[in-house]
Amino acid sequence: MDFNYTEEQLMIQKAARDFAQSELLPGVIERDETETFPTEQIKQMGELGFLGMMVDPKYGGSGLDTVSYVLAMEEISKVDASASVVMSVNNSLVCWGIQTYGSEEQKEKYLPRLASGEIIGAFCLSEPEAGSDATSQKTTAIDKGDHYLVNGTKNWITNGKTASVYIVIAQTDVEKRHKGINALIIERGAEGFEIGPKERKMGIRGSDTHSLMFNDVKVPKENRIGEDGFGFKFAMKVLSGGRIGIAAQALGIASGAYELALKYSKERKSFGTEISNHQAIAFKLADMAVNIEAARHLCMKAAWDKDNGNNYDVSGAMAKLFASQTAMDTAIEAVQIHGGNGYVREYHVERMMRDAKITQIYEGTSEIQKIVISRSVING
């Protein structure tokens, strides 16, 4: 078994690290404070190929594997989880979804602009009453012959206001339950499509999260992804891959918090010595290091499964479950190691603690991951 990364993967990791340090770090506290979307930085990420990492070069993407994507996500997330959620949704849910299940026309029309960052995508599944229970879609897409008429509300949509292309999951045939759901591409500016107010969030405050309202929005049939009724399976498949991206985000938050805590513990003195010399602190660092290493292995295993054509529903769920818990635990302990300094903005770890929490909630809560894992454990 070879645990080494390839030259190319190491190059991607370094490029992402350099970008995060030079372009994301300087304004990250202010963007969090003012809830400002990293517009300029996302544009740069597009130019560097970070927004269409797994997109085929023939559609303008970087043509990289999922392992490279995880490496880049970790580096970006170490510094700015608001920027990395934009990256994650655009890569995993939107680009990968269209590339894998879209028509040739959809790929040609949307992928080059999504991969370059000229436009950003959003994935719209959650509703006021359909978060974890994703089959209970209330948004309807009624078949009107050559188009669908879409009505309903979507909630907590990442890139809600910034996106230009929205993949919207909606119910066409209620009788058929999840087999009557479709995934439709809706463009910003479509008549009857309104963007609701911005959510005021605990963390990832630089990302823009909105509710969306669809009022008799006409969507041409050619904007449906896959066959009629494929929408729920599409959402599940796309989310399975998305969970690897969010696991990598969680891994990044954890390793970012750990690196700051480690550095601080070697500089800060108490009782006549650096605090890293106190076993109370040293043991925390040891626990962090072990959990981060375990989370990294789970993330890489899931990415490897995806790259090698294996089923990654369960490995992705395991990676997300464990990495998000690690992010939360590590960020809390990083604040603790920083003491009073950890509680104030300029030391970064309090933001990481707030950002970590969402990784246990979006793209399936930890409880959802346990449903996916336990079903596989019990039923094989």
Q: Rounded distance, CA 216 to CA 148, Å?
A: 9
Tell me if 123 contacts ligand CAA by CB under 6 A: yes
Closer CB to ligand CAA, residue 28 or residue 314? 314
Tell me if 232 contacts ligand CAA by CB under 6 A: yes
Going through the chain in order, the beta strands assigned E by DSSP cover 121-124, 140-143, 147-158, 165-171, 181-187, 193-198, 209-220, 269-270, 273-274
Backbone φ and ψ for 135, nearest 5 degrees, come out as -75, -15
Tell me if 215 contacts ligand CAA by CB under 6 A: no
By CB under 6 A, the count of residues binding ligand CAA is 22
| Contact residue for ligand CAA among 31, 113, 237, 296 (CB under 6 A) | 237
Q: Rounded distance, CA 106 to CA 109, Å?
A: 5
Least separation in angstroms between residue 233's CB and ligand CAA is: 5
Closer CB to ligand CAA, residue 281 or residue 298? 298
Closer CB to ligand CAA, residue 176 or residue 269? 176
**Residues, the chain, total?**
380
Tell me if 83 contacts ligand CAA by CB under 6 A: no
| Contact residue for ligand CAA among 43, 188, 198, 233 (CB under 6 A) | 233
165 CB-near residues (< 8 Å, 6+ apart): 94, 110, 114, 119, 120, 121, 122, 185, 186, 187, 188
Coil/strand/helix, residue 131: coil
Range 139-158, binding ligand CAA (CB under 6 A): 158
Range 87-106, binding ligand CAA (CB under 6 A): 89
| Active-site residue, selected from the candidate residues 23, 74, 199, 363 | 363
Tell me if 52 contacts ligand CAA by CB under 6 A: no
Extract the tokens encoding 185: 């591409």
Closer CB to ligand CAA, residue 264 or residue 322? 322
Q: Rounded distance, CA 90 to CA 284, Å?
A: 35
Is 105 one of the catalytic residues? no
User: By C-alpha distance, which of 113, 77, 115 is closest to 96?
Assistant: 115
Closer CB to ligand CAA, residue 125 or residue 298? 125
Least separation in angstroms between residue 209's CB and ligand CAA is: 8
274 CB-near residues (< 8 Å, 6+ apart): 265, 266, 267, 268
Tell me if 370 contacts ligand CAA by CB under 6 A: no
Annotated catalytic residues are: 363
Residues that bind ligand CAA (CB under 6 A): 89, 123, 125-126, 132, 134-135, 158, 178, 232-233, 236-237, 239-240, 313, 362-364, 368, 371-372
